[in-house]
Amino acid sequence: MALLLCGGWRLDQPEGRAEQQRWLAALEQALPGEEWILQSPADGAAAGRIDVAVVANPPPGSLQGLPALGLIQSLWAGVDRLLLDGTVPQEPPLCRMVDPAMNEAMVQTALWATLALHRGFFQCQRQQREALWRQPPQLRAAEWQVLVLGQGELGGRVGRALAGLGYAVTGWSRRPRPSEALQGRQGLHGADGLAQGLAAADTVINLLPLTDETRGFLDARRLAAFKRGASLINLARGAHLDEAALLAALDSGQVGHAVLDVFQQEPLPAPHPFWRHERVTVLPHTAAQTDPRSAAEVVAANVRAWRRGAPLLHRVERSQGY
């Protein structure tokens, strides 16, 4: 049997070809001796040999006509595009990527952004442009309330890391979480819990999955529920955020500062007001990138598990959207 490696890489450009080859090299090292097919085959015999598809937001239709396909393994943590693609077969299990190296990088970015907001370092950056010497107040970490939206793999890790630095951390999820999963941190859930958390937080970190229920989650109504002057860190998906509503909240002072890594349109267009807004920090979707070396080991573990009939890691519940 064979594995299909298929992504949205621009293979007509050197960068896209290099990215595909980087993934192929890592996967070949993790799964030696396997046959890899690098594009959806038009030949029926080749299509019939493919039993596993390893994908990175592949073009629609890429997974059609593969009669032996038994496993779809995503290279990305988010699977919203795959779930919206009506051409993706529904029968094979779909697994998302939980890359240890990417998780570590996400924690690092969340810590940096929270520290910079808590200690007023973005304010110092603005003052530097005016040669203004003014020391921001130095609150203790325990006096800075952080609300983490989403208590999955990433949200849980970020919350534990911030709590380890002494921050007052609350996690919010749609449904109740077991107390042992929170490891001593406060957990909120549901509409009432969200209202309570937003009203108290000095910094809100969004790490929600993107589903039909969370698309547009950070809208004008929820931004108005923030504690006045609180900050937002969006590291999840651009579609979670109503960008016009955030700009209005920033201009009114309702939101004090926003650190944004993801956007409705990427790359962020040059005319977009986020680029020049003094209370917005723009990251070019670089908070945490999947590392092919560690991710390939995750792929290899799931391929081997599937072929011997063992439970799969990080299997997506399609009805839940993650």
Residue positions annotated with a catalytic role: 237, 285
SS3 sequence, 287-311?
CCCCCHHHHHHHHHHHHHHHHCCCC
Q: Cα–Cα distances in Å, from 211 out to 150, 214, 217?
A: 12, 5, 10
Taking the alpha carbons at both ends of the chain, their separation in whole angstroms is 28
Contact 97, 152 (CB under 8 A): no
Largest pairwise CA distance in the chain: 71
DSSP state of 186: E
Which uninterrupted H or E stretch holds 112?
helix 100-118
What three-state secondary structure class fits 244?
Answer: helix
3-state secondary structure of 34: coil
3 state DSSP class of 114 = helix
- The CA distance from 113 to 286, in Å, is 13
Task: Please name the residues in contact with 34: beta carbons below 8 A apart, sequence gap of 6 or more.
Answer: 2, 3, 28
Q: Which residues pair with 258 in a beta bridge?
A: 232, 280
